[in-house]
């Protein structure tokens, strides 16, 4: 499949207002549609990964809200309307209700999703 919509994309993670829909869309890349309510801190979900952070790179666009990204190099804040690149080694914190779409290498993305599911499980 080379195209999908948010509603066509299967839910990978759901709970506490967090929703992550993800699907491989071609080659070894996946698309994800994410919703994080204000106050969501993904620190506990990525604990146990190297550096206690997401190690998958993401390229995307923030549709709604403000999101703080914690990294070893310092924190950055992203706002609705911005395209972004998040290098490996990040932890998202929703400063406002957020929605974004991102594209990531499928293998690395699935490793993080499986870890987060186990942490939330």
Residue 2 in domain: no
Residue 93 in domain: yes
Q: Where are the beta strands (DSSP E) in the chain?
A: 11-15, 18-26, 29-36, 58-64, 66-71, 76-79, 83-86, 90-94, 98-105
Rounded distance, CA 24 to CA 112, Å? Answer: 15
Residue 4 in domain: no
Would you say 98 and 67 are in contact if contact means Cβ atoms under 8 Å apart? yes
Query: For residue 109, what is the domain's CATH number?
Result: 2.60.120.10
- The H helix count followed by the E strand count for the chain is 2, 9
Q: 107 φ, ψ to 5°?
A: -60, -50
Q: Which portions of the chain are predicted below pLDDT 50?
A: none
Residue 69 in domain: yes
Could you tell me the residue range of the domain that residue 67 belongs to? 11-120
Domain total in the chain: 1
pLDDT of residue 119: 87
pLDDT of residue 2: 79
């Amino acid at each position: 499949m080379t195209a999908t919509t948010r509603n066509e994309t299967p839910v990978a993670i759901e709970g506490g207002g967090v929703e992550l829909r993800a699907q491989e869309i071609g080659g070894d890349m996946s698309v994800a549609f994410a919703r994080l309510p204000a106050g969501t801190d993904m620190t506990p979900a990525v604990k146990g990964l190297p550096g206690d952070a997401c190690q998958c790179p993401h390229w995307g666009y923030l549709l709604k809200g403000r999101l703080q990204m914690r990294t070893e190099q310092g924190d950055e804040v992203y706002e609705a309307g911005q395209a972004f690149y998040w290098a490996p080694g990040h932890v998202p914190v929703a400063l406002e209700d957020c929605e974004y779409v991102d594209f990531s290498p499928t293998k690395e993305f699935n490793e993080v999703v499986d870890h987060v599911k186990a942490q939330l499980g």
